């Protein structure tokens, strides 16, 4: 259980480090709607990766 939570937090930190444009304030001159769309896409990607980690974790538990 601890391992899964650690992997999820590590994954979140990695994604946020790779996507510094996730600010939804629009303060960097970008279109706030586009930034919101990018944020939603990134969060969907994180959820997909979380499901993959859970599937891998279940496979490891069966071994």
19-40 pLDDT, tens digit each: 655 544 445 566 778 778 888 8
Mean pLDDT of all residues belonging to the chain: 74
Distance CA 18, CA 26 (A): 18
Task: Enumerate residues 6+ apart whose C-beta is below 8 A from 35.
Answer: 21, 22, 23, 24, 25, 26
More confident residue, 25 or 9: 9
């Amino acid at each position: 259980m601890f391992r899964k939570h650690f992997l999820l937090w590590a994954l979140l930190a990695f994604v946020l480090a790779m996507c510094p444009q996730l600010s939804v304030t629009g303060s960097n001159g970008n279109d706030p709607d586009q930034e919101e769309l990018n944020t939603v896409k990134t969060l969907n990607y994180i959820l997909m990766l979380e499901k993959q980690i859970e599937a891998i974790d279940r496979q490891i538990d069966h071994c």
